[in-house]
Amino acid sequence: MAESVRVFDLHLHTTASDGTMSPAEIVRYAKGKGLRVIAITDHDTIEGLQEGMHEGDKVGLEVIPGVELSADAPRGTMHLLGYYIDPACSELADKLMVLQQARMERNLAIVEKLRGLGIPIELSEVKEAPEHGQIGRPHFAYAMVQKGYAQNIQDAFDRYLGKGRPAYVEKFRFSPEEAMHFIRKAGGITVLAHPFTLKQPQPADFDAFIGELKREGLDGIEVYYPEHSDGQRKLYRDVAQKYGLVISGGSDFHGFNKDEADLGEGYGDRELTYSLVEAIKARREQRLKGL
């Protein structure tokens, strides 16, 4: 199904985490696609922000400094997007360091598990994957494909690295409240990413859960996302409106190493306009004024 390109894409990954394009490349790519604004939202790192914002200034593309954090959810998977975070905030830097340290330890545990499964892959080999940012499971998957232990990335996840598979290792996560707190301390606002991964059984459960998150500091919901059905979009939009939360949308583009939506594509309604970004900005302004 052909999708029109939108003016914004507020969820994407660069080589600073598990994307395949550098921040500068992705900014130029977005500009070439006719987007007006993007948010750079790498997992657990803000290392791509400076380069991306600099390139944005150069080519005339608005770049929102962001981050994507995993949080401890009662069920399913919970990711939080921080928008307009100040990359110079030292508390944020400290918290990200905790996550990076935990990730390193987890990677070593994955190496051990793979070894136990007869798949000898060293961390040094994983770093030779095309992306050099935050090492994570996609990098292991890539190395496994290179060495002939899996047919493709998906196969590596399905058989080894996915949750519940034999090489899976749990990841350290902050509670949603903590994560939202330090995003706020860094001047940012927090948007719940791809809510379908929360796996809330019923709309009423989702509604109640969002009510709780709102009390803990949630600012918005990513309503527009490639994997959301029309019904999910409607539910998420309704709940966002009910709680006075801003609405966001993005492709979760990782480059071309995954069979997923291209930058600026795949997330629904054609009427999405810049006004949505303006609402996000207004929210941030309110926050800065301490309202």
**For residues 194 and 214, which CB has a smaller minimum distance to Zn ion in the complex?**
194
User: According to CB under 6 A, which residues from 132 to 161 bind ligand AMP?
Assistant: 136-138, 154, 157
Provide, rounded to whole angstroms, the least separation between the CB of residue 192 and ligand AMP.
16
Which of the residues 135 through 194 are near Fe ion (CB under 5 A)? 193
Residue 121 tokens read as 């892959």
- x/- letters, 47..76, toward Zn ion (CB under 5 A): ---------------------x--------
* Total residues in contact with ligand AMP, by rule CB under 6 A: 10
**CA–CA distance, 45 with 67 (Å, rounded to integer):** 6
Q: Which residue is nearest to ligand AMP (CB)?
A: 136
18 binds Zn ion (CB under 5 A): no
- Residue among 19 and 264 whose Cβ is closer to Fe ion: 19
Check the CA dihedral 53-100-43-110 and report its sign. positive
Per-position DSSP letters for 45-103, written without gaps between them: --TTHHHHHHHHHHHT-EEEEEEEEEE--SSS-EEEEEES--TT-HHHHHHHHHHHHHH
Site for Fe ion in 6-45 (CB under 5 A): 18
Residue whose structure tokens are 């991964």: 197
Q: State how far the Cα of 262 lies from the Cα of 253, in Å rounded to an integer.
A: 6
Q: Are strands 220-224 and 189-192 parallel, antiparallel or unpaired?
A: parallel
Q: Are 260 and 226 in contact (CB under 8 A)?
A: yes
Q: Quick one: tokens of 116?
A: 């136990």
- Interaction residues for ligand AMP, span 39-98 (CB under 6 A): 43
Q: Least separation, in Å, of the C-beta of 252 and Zn ion?
A: 4
Interaction partner, residue 222 (Fe ion, ligand AMP, Zn ion, none; CB < 5-8 Å by kind): none
- Per-residue binder mask for ligand AMP (CB under 6 A), 166-185, x = binder: -----x--------------
Residues binding Fe ion (CB under 5 A): 18, 79, 193
Residues binding ligand AMP (CB under 6 A): 18, 43, 136-138, 154, 157, 162, 171, 254
Residues binding Zn ion (CB under 5 A): 68, 252
